[in-house]
Amino acid sequence: MKKIDGKEVAQKVIDECKSQIAELKVKGITPGLAVVLVGEDPASKVYVGAKARKCEELGIYSKKIELPADASQEQVMQVVEDLNNDPAIDGILVQSPPPPHIDEDAIVRAINPNKDVDGFHPVNVAKLVLEDPSGFIPCTPHGCLRLLQDTGIETSGAEAVVIGRSMIVGKPMALLLMGKLGNATVTVAHSRTKDLAAVCRRADIIIAAIGKPEFVTADMVKDGAVVIDVGINRVEDSSKKSGYKLVGDVAFDEVATKCSAITPVPGGVGPMTIAMLMKNTVISASRR
Ligand code: NAD
């Protein structure tokens, strides 16, 4: 069994970004990423901090805009509008989830699609469906595909089962795998799927994006399958100073005994998501 090292592959992506950034700087261009955080969600704060630190490491100009939890829809929309018009900013993301009174769809639609480095704007979703390379591909599923490719796992002709149909992970993951980049035969499973275990046992490649701790168990996995665990779940752990630990959507210890390759949590998909975000920001800057 191979434990797929997300940090190692992410570092390769980061190194590619570094050389592209150096080329851009020669042309007088410094890529810029703006991250908007509304409210105090602790996990969101961690993600936003990690993105800002990665920008700093790479020499990407980063702008962090923090709004209070009671910020109005109009305030957030104004921030997005200002960033759309800011020539120093190539990428804009509004950290999800915003507080419940904020209409997240409206915010995403307000972002200029050419700065939508998350790839969530309807224009970029359409471009993903159309396999139009001028769009931005959502970072997490793109990172999963890159992990498979760099690990030498053949997706072409493989039976892939994606568990989860969210717009952030499941749906774009299925599109990438079924498209010309993946060439896999794809099944999308979700909360209404009957006999999920039987569906999963067909898979050469399982992508788990469910949001339920250790949901995928050994009986759901065929011998020799590849398992990519997108899940990030906080579960109580009194032995940790923080009082919690992070686990994926896959019961790692038991599933690892059956598969040929598997991503750990943390250290698998997570670092890839940030790396692909940096990549999208650099691509956006190179289109200035
Ligand atoms: P989501 O809640 O939007 O979607 C979960 C999906 O799982 C749904 O489509 C649902 O149909 C499916 N599902 C729920 N219960 C199921 C069941 N019993 N059987 C089969 N399918 C079921 O979540 P999401 O935004 O797609 O995120 C999924 C997980 O990935 C979460 O743990 C999240 O924290 C994590 N995540 C990680 C990264 C990363 O960078 N590694 C990025 C995004 C999300």
For the stretch 163-202, pLDDT in tens is: 999 999 999 999 999 999 999 999 999 999 999 999 999 9
Q: What pLDDT, on the 0 to 100 scale, is given for residue 182?
A: 98
C-alpha pair distances (Å), 239 with each of 154, 185, 236, 249: 40, 43, 9, 21
Tell me, yes or no, if 86 is annotated catalytic. Answer: no
Whole-angstrom distance, CA of residue 228 vs CA of residue 269: 8
Tell me, yes or no, if 82 is annotated catalytic. Answer: no
Alpha helices in the chain (DSSP H): 6-26, 42-58, 73-84, 104-110, 122-130, 139-150, 170-178, 196-201, 252-256, 269-286
First vs last C-alpha separation in the chain: 44
Q: Pocket residues for ligand 1 (CB within 6 Å)?
A: 140, 163-166, 168-170, 189-191, 193, 196, 209-212, 230-233, 249, 269-270, 273
Spell out the residues 6+ positions from residue 192 whose beta carbon is closer than 8 angstroms to its own: none
Whole-angstrom distance, CA of residue 102 vs CA of residue 172: 24
pLDDT digits (tens, 9 = 90+) for 191-224: 999 999 999 999 999 999 999 999 999 999 999 9
Nearest CA to ligand 1 atom 31: 211
What mean pLDDT do residues 67-75 have? 98
Spell out the residues 6+ positions from residue 215 whose beta carbon is closer than 8 angstroms to its own: 208, 231, 249, 250, 251
pLDDT interval class at 75 (50, 70, 90)? very high
- pTM, two decimal places: 0.97
Tell me, yes or no, if 63 is annotated catalytic. Answer: no
Catalytic residue among 54, 95, 127, 204: 95
